[in-house]
Homo-oligomer: A and B are copies of this chain.
Amino acid sequence: MITADQFVELLNRFPRVSSECIPLDAALSRILSEDVVAFENLPEQARSTVDGYAVKAEDTFGASDAIPALLEIIEPVLMGTIPEYTLNPGQAAPIPTGGFLPRGADAVVMVEYTNKAGADSVEITKPVTLLTNVLEKGEDAKSGERLLQSGMRLRFQDIGFLAAAGFPEVTVYRKPKVAILSSGDEVVPIGQKPRSGQIRDANGHALVALVREAGSEPVLFDIVPDNASMLRNALEAALSQSDVTVISGGSSVGARDLMKGAVSDIAGAEILAHGIAIRPGKPTLLANRTGKAIFGLPGHPVSALIVAQAFLVPFLHYLMGTGLQKGPIGHRIDVTLTTSIHSTIGLEEYVRIFIEKKSNGECEAYPIYGKSGMLSTMVKANGILVIPMNVEGFSRGETVQAVQL
């Protein structure tokens, strides 16, 4: 039996997936596999941030309502072009928000601080200093500057920035393909009516959703009966089509032995771990076949899903270029326990909890107990609490960190 930390170390040795170039509109939530460097200035020249008049700032010094500066109106700036003329001292060019400043102009006076004085002149009633209301050349992004860093997850604003900077495509880590297999003589597909004594494949579909939520691409395989050679063949097929293979087997000792045997029988497969000092999830198996991970999840649905949350999801993020996080991914918040929770020394324990936000802003947490086959406990929970291996539990009233799910 290995510890949870040792398990994470084993996961940390797998190679990351390769990268691919995809259209920008498909890149939301994907992880950059290389830095993005600006190839031009943004903006290319100085632009106005207001509606008004482009001027030389020094022409407005001392201007006021009582003694306005009088400037000659020249050709207006149009959107979509950079003016070709030069603005001379004593001149003002009408400019819309976003318009490019003519050569010679170095500030913009807002229209609110101007009065037309006949057809060709304008009064400026408030002085501006150099670059007032101006977005300078390269102020948003300088040519050669790193805009976004490799390893970052793209948010909508990053997509907008990449669009502005001229990247219709972007290079990101591939989505890992994850083969999902459920095994067990008693398991039937969800579309099928189970005969008496059979159960539906809950694990398979929950794992499809979990893998998708982790930004990876699930492939659900047919259900495999409890038969050594059929299990081995199914695993071989899964390995050939995926980056990661996840199999959830029966929870009985016999079914676990069968799964371990099938994995051992695969040419080139090495079992790295069978048994982790965690609860639930102790019988979890991890194997490596030429750089591809095989997760053998416990058969109990709750145990399988908690192990997947705590280890598979961070592993998928890691494969896509992030650092490998230990424990479930999610927002971490402080919760106060409404009851004491006991834990066994020597096992890292994952406790499903219900987090309730009180009117004073504090969060209270209630553990949700239930037998390990009960999926309803996972549905009732909105958080998880990790009790470290060397801790006997937490006391009622204690404030601890939990992960919101």
User: From residue 127 to 177 of chain A, which have CB atoms closer than 8 A to chain B?
Assistant: 135, 139-141, 147-148, 154-168
Question: Is the CB–CB distance between A206 and B97 below 8 Å?
Answer: no
Question: Is the CB–CB distance between A135 and B374 below 8 Å?
Answer: yes
Specify which of B139, B372, B404 is in contact with A49 (CB 8 Å cutoff): B372
User: From residue 193 to 208 of chain A, which have CB atoms closer than 8 A to chain B?
Assistant: 193-194, 196-208
Question: Is the CB–CB distance between B166 and A97 below 8 Å?
Answer: no
| Cα–Cα distance between A155 and B208 once the two chains are bound (Å) | 11
| Cα–Cα distance between A191 and B168 once the two chains are bound (Å) | 6
Interface status of A329 (Cβ within 8 A of chain B): no
What residues on B are CB-neighbors of A159 within 8 Å?
A: 205-206, 208-209
What residues on B are CB-neighbors of A160 within 8 Å?
A: 202-203, 205-207, 209, 301, 305, 375, 378
**Chain B residue nearest to A79 in the complex (CB):** B186
- Please tell me which stretch of A5-13, A85-93, A251-259 contacts chain B, meaning at least 4 of its Cβ atoms lie within 8 angstroms of it: A251-259
Interface status of A119 (Cβ within 8 A of chain B): no
Question: Is the CB–CB distance between A199 and B43 below 8 Å?
Answer: yes
Specify which of B28, B43, B404 is in contact with A213 (CB 8 Å cutoff): B28
Q: A25-B209, A81-B196, A197-B81 are in contact. Are A157 and B253 (CB under 8 A)?
A: no
Interface status of A272 (Cβ within 8 A of chain B): no
| Cα–Cα distance between A78 and B208 once the two chains are bound (Å) | 28
| Cα–Cα distance between A201 and B160 once the two chains are bound (Å) | 8
Q: A156-B213, A196-B44, A371-B49 are in contact. Are A254 and B96 (CB under 8 A)?
A: yes
Question: Is the CB–CB distance between A373 and B140 below 8 Å?
Answer: yes
Interface status of A66 (Cβ within 8 A of chain B): no
Question: Is the CB–CB distance between B373 and A98 below 8 Å?
Answer: yes
| Cα–Cα distance between A253 and B51 once the two chains are bound (Å) | 7
What is the CB-to-nearest-CB distance from A137 to chain B, in angstroms, rounded to a whole number? 13
Interface status of A210 (Cβ within 8 A of chain B): yes
Interface status of A232 (Cβ within 8 A of chain B): no
Residues of A whose CB lies within 8 Å of any CB of B are 24-25, 27-29, 42-44, 47, 49, 51, 78-82, 96-100, 111, 135, 139-141, 147-148, 154-168, 184-186, 190-191, 193-194, 196-210, 212-213, 220, 226, 250-255, 299-301, 305, 331, 371-376, 378-379, 381, 404-405
